[in-house]
Structure 1
């Protein structure tokens, strides 16, 4: 069974077909117009808009037939088409009888040679065989023969990558995998011009809504493809401009007036008008003349003159006068230019009763060429023994592209499982696990950039090891060079998901991490471990520094309120040692005693052993200032606190001024 999809400029046609004794049996069909103009000149402009219509076609067919459609055959219009001839020769003397796989390998080799002459940003979307030769003799087919050197000549069709990618993206969006992709005129030619007729000089012209695609056959093969970016839409636009109609209304007029003689519609001014065949025919005559002139010019150039016969297909050519105009432009008798219908091919059995007329040639042709596997460029390589089909980039696929198409995750090939997180307002993607990947192509060691071709075998060996991503892997520290030659790294305050965390904290999917870009010298000093020792104060463990030091940039000391950017390098220079009280930053008050400033601690330090100390609260009194004085036999004195008489037991406060005088 084949699910064929014709993604046209105006509408999308879907067919479910099966092959039976050389004919195509149409099991079901669905035709839906785009709700808006999502395609122009056969090219997808609105991926989601086109995908919506494709999805509707797919779901209707699935519902009626109680099946799930996963694979599809499609064709591309020839917008920006380029063609190139390619030749190849391979030695099959050691393979026995030539198989279909051997023929495919030979044909793909020829397409690869053709692609060498085309820009990098073009994909091959189809090809036709011009001739086969076996040991120098012309052969109609190679398969089944035994011989030595086999030769093939092909004409290949190329489209820009973005044209191909947009259609592939539509299919991906609706969950369809392309198993057959070709060019629309190749599909139409396969159905309307069988191989036995190709000894005649025939031009096939497929007039759709956006493009008119052309194929030329003679001397037994298809020799050229071409296109013009004009077709049925230009005819619709001519009607709209003449009678002031929106595009949808003009399209309705084009489809109905020629069968019903007259049609009533409203123009853009909301006025009802009645149009007849004569008026509409006169309105479209100039654009029909222009389109057929362009087609005849391309046909003549591709063919080297007028062909013997022109077969016209597609809904765009159904307007009266089109075939007659084309015959005049090519200087051919009218009976040599024919509007071809599906019914006239003799190859179609339609169980639906709906698949009729020239507009169904392309979708049925897609199904027919898919059944016969003709004209579709799919290279095949093997990944760990599993076949993988590659479309379009013949001979240009890298190992990486193949593995991605084979279902390997990008992250597993270039560093492991990837996580996304936010760092200072920027969203980043980083590997969470590291993967060791060994790649072999046809038994020889290769890498992700190595090129592969049809028939190559890729073997992948991977080993994963857990390597957590930590914040310190992402944040540059300030590097402090120590007197002993070592270097200490100082990180700023780091916040993860609103909570401060250490630099070695893990980074997980969705984390939000922030930190300042600069760090104060005072903060660096507080975080440096150099000269610090462990001590237990009142049962609580502390790390204190017993070293006085300066931080320098070059030879210039840095002040505590200065900032340095992360990643900076600075030097630490010792300036002596601290007392234990200084290191513990014991609080104190400063008072003036007889004109001399004195620091008095507010806690008393008692050392229990080398690692443990006790700090007890202390409330200094005036008498504590007099403990070093000899006061024996003292009878007369004057004691003032802040200028007033004081007692020995009065408590001292920061800034007090104490005066003590002995009277003689």
Structure 2
């Protein structure tokens, strides 16, 4: 499928020159050729230039100016051999393509089918495919139809090879239309314009390649053509005499080059050169980015990238199975990436085909090529030759127009209107008329009110300087100017515009701190307090409430201090941390009296009421309030002294308030931290808790040994567990102590 400019439908007559460009991810190949009297293509000249940088990725132009520079070099070199070149046939890669099948029937009532009728049927089917795409894809307007292939013609519901000159009752055609994102086409066209070239024809790379290698006579076979470039692998399938599907895998030769670059620490261009040598040399030499030189058998280098090659084969085979639902009869590989080492055998294994059923095909397999060209041969030359060959296949005209100075090309499947041009230029038709200012919809006391903005002004459409309408037909070279309309002013209002003061309820009379206050009705917008000067927002709900509760009155009182208003938001509790656990005590931070009676915020009020409001004092809690003797016993040991059991009590654990020692009568405030539990030595707050070690002298708190002194006794003999002791001898639980006067 090829697209031509209106008026140039015969891009290539016999002996007329054809200029074709294959703009690939890695290089740009240009050729100039002509068809001889036998209808075969004769190549007059060819030039190839590689991109100096990675200006294209995965078949998509990423740097228009750099790609244009390469195209200009190719054009200049060709012109030195062939003369001036202005119009060019190009192809787009299959990246992000979408395919849609469509069928159209036409009653012919026994009349002879002419070539014009066949073409009209095909273009009507393309329009039908466009409508299907719009149903399937929300952003279908961002796609260009870049080609279509006839699946089959039918006459009276019987498949036929050609409709031309046939006679019957009903003629039918089924096509596969292919669509690409506009960004792919627009960037391609811009690169050509920068190189002083005009896009006279556009096709899709897999369409060009399959037209070159698989003529209609071979399409009854279930064959697959895979065009493996640097960034994408385009796939086309034939069966039952036609092309039945197109597909694309967004991986190709660059992934293998990247793998070589990573494995052997090579700059990308050096890795690309090494990859190409692997198929022709048994031993390769190369230097890495550190300057280290290597000399290796090519098979060892191939082994290092086998995982990536297998991954490429797996992804291609997955797409083939998805499109074909089974393994094909054979696979033809074209494109520079088809020469990737081991790709053919690995792909055959994935498809469960004999190795000989997956073959690399070059220009020698193109039957329409008059003779082989020395500089344009091999699998990488199939696509550029296919682009040139496609120049005679089903041309569809296009028009070049300018919208607000921007150059656009539209493909003419029907008469093109001003509206079509605006869509192609991304001018939103619904925004041509200045939009009315946004209205405000407000609900006032349950009643909907609408405040409208001002109206906008319409846009002006000028076609070649004259006023135009959306359905006016445009011609090649027309200039369209769009002068946008002016939008209206959005609606704006305040609450007072809808609720003037005389419509509000009577104020409420309240005596507060010796003064009578007249409190007006509360204005609420979306539940928040408002005034008559508050600006309205869209869909706001406005309500009017006379103060009915203490809370309403306090919110409206002007004499309430800021700190008093803050009291209303404070929690009604007193909280401390006790031994790591939170303890909450009820406490209301304010006091309310209504007519000398206790009240709450929800207490109802009436005109003439007296209201008192004030802060309550902080609660008065001491440490003793929270201390529980039963939960915090002191240390104790039991001993026997002079045959009497004695229980010695040690000191109680220390108390900490906010990390510092505290006494029982210390005041505890909201938010404080109390620690009663015994702490291990060197606690987290840095305080040391001493360990209790009782001694013999501690017993004198429990016995009066002086009262037991016999007359004349002078000394007190001490022993602990039958061992001599002193007053400072340590004792422990269960010890036997003897105190004897001598």
Please, what TM-score do these two structures have when normalized by structure 1?
0.59
Offset of residue 24 of structure 1: 1.3
Separation in 2, partners of 1:190, 1:180: 15
Q: Does 1:112 align with 2:141?
A: no
- The Cα of 1:117 is off from its aligned counterpart by 2.4
Look up the match of 1:31. Answer: 48
Q: Which residue of 1 aligns with 2:63?
A: 46
The 3-state SS of whatever aligns with 1:180 is strand
Flag the structure with higher strand content: 1
Change (3 A) 1:451 1:313: farther
TM-superposition CA deviations, 1:223-281 (whole Å, max 9, x none): 10001011111111111000000100000111123312233322111222224302220
Give the structure 1 partner of residue 499 of structure 2.
none
**What is residue 628 of structure 2 aligned with on the other side?**
none
My pick for the range that moved more, 287-296 or 22-31, is 22-31
**Counterpart for residue 388 of structure 2:** 367
Distance 1:336 1:291 in 2: 18
Taking the aligned partners of 1:27 and 1:434, their CA distance within structure 2 comes to 43
Q: Return closer, same or farther for 1:404/1:184 CA change in 2, 3 Å cut-off.
A: same
> Counterpart of 1:2?
18
CA deviation vs aligned residue, 1:302-342 (integer Å, no higher than 9, x gap): 01111111111111011221111110000001121111111
Q: CA deviation at 1:435?
A: 7.7
2:187 match: 166
Partners of 1:282 and 1:359 in 2: CA distance: 24
CA distance in 2, matches of 1:434, 1:184: 36
Distance 1:242 1:93 in 2: 68
User: Does the 8 Å contact 1:8/1:42 carry over to 2?
Assistant: yes
CA distance in 2, matches of 1:8, 1:459: 29
Contact kept in structure 1, 2:401 and 2:478, CA below 8 Å: no
1:110 is displaced (CA, Å) by: 0.6
CA shift at 1:139, angstroms?
Answer: 2.1
Aligned pairs for 1:536-555 within 5 A:
none
Give the TM-score normalised by the residue count of structure 2: 0.53
Which residue does the alignment assign to 1:102? 117
Q: Which residue of 1 aligns with 2:27?
A: 11
Which whole-Å CA distance do the structure 2 matches of 1:459 and 1:58 have between them? 25
1:437 alignment counterpart: 466
Q: Classify 1:268/1:333 alpha carbon distance in 2 versus 1 (closer, same or farther; 3 Å).
A: same
Structure 1 unaligned blocks of 5 or more? 384-388, 406-413, 415-429, 440-446, 465-664
8 Å CA contact 2:278–2:302 kept in 1: the answer is: no
5+ residue gaps, structure 2, are 1-16, 403-407, 425-431, 433-458, 482-742
Are 2:369 and 1:354 aligned? no
In structure 2, what is the Cα distance between the partners aligned to 1:194 and 1:106? 22
SS at match of 1:258: coil
Deviations 1:27-85 (A, max 9, x none): 11111101110000011111111111011111111111123x11111111111111111
Counterpart pick for 2:97 among 75, 81, 94: 81
Q: Of the candidates 259, 278, 281, which is equivalent to residue 299 of structure 2? A: 278
Equivalence for 1:64: 81
Q: Give the drift of 1:354.
A: 1.2
3-state SS in 2 of match to 1:152: strand
Cα shift readout 1:320-375 (whole Å, capped 9, x = no counterpart)? 211111100000011211111111223213474211100001111111111334xx
Moved over 6 A (4+): 380-383, 433-436, 457-462
Q: Distance in 1 between matches of 2:409 and 2:158?
A: 32
Q: In structure 1, what is the equivalent of residue 418 of structure 2?
A: 399
CA distance in 1, matches of 2:475, 2:381: 41
CA contact (8 A) 1:124 1:377 kept: no
Distance 1:50 1:459 in 2: 27
Q: Give the Å deviation of 1:390.
A: 5.8
**What's the counterpart of residue 510 of structure 2?**
none
- Count the aligned residue pairs: 424
CA contact (8 A) 1:257 1:276 kept: no
Match of 1:307 in 2: 328
Partner of 2:144: 123
How far the C-alpha of 1:158 sits from its partner, in A, is 1.1
Secondary structure at the aligned position of 2:328 is classed as coil
Cα deviation, residue 381, structure 1? 11
Aligned to 1:409: none
For 1:345, the equivalent position in structure 2 comes to 366
Aligned partners of 1:396 and 1:451 also within 8 Å: no
Distance 1:460 1:92, change over 3 A: farther
Decide whether the 8 Å contact of 2:88 with 2:197 is kept in 1.
yes
In 2 relative to 1, CA 39–459 (structure 1 residues): closer, same or farther, beyond 3 Å? closer
Sort the Cα spacing of 1:351 and 1:337 in 2 relative to 1 into closer, same or farther, 3 A: closer
CA distance in 1, matches of 2:465, 2:249: 51
- How far apart are the structure 1 equivalents of 2:338 and 2:27? 15
Partners of 2:398 and 2:104 in 1: how far apart? 15
CA-atom RMSD, angstroms?
3.6
Distance apart, 1:151 and its partner CA? 1.3
Q: 1:152 to 1:170 in 2, by over 3 A?
A: same
**Counterpart check, 1:179 vs 2:196:** no
> Is the partner of 2:166 in helix, strand or coil?
coil
Aligned mates of 2:372, 2:80 — CA distance in 1: 17
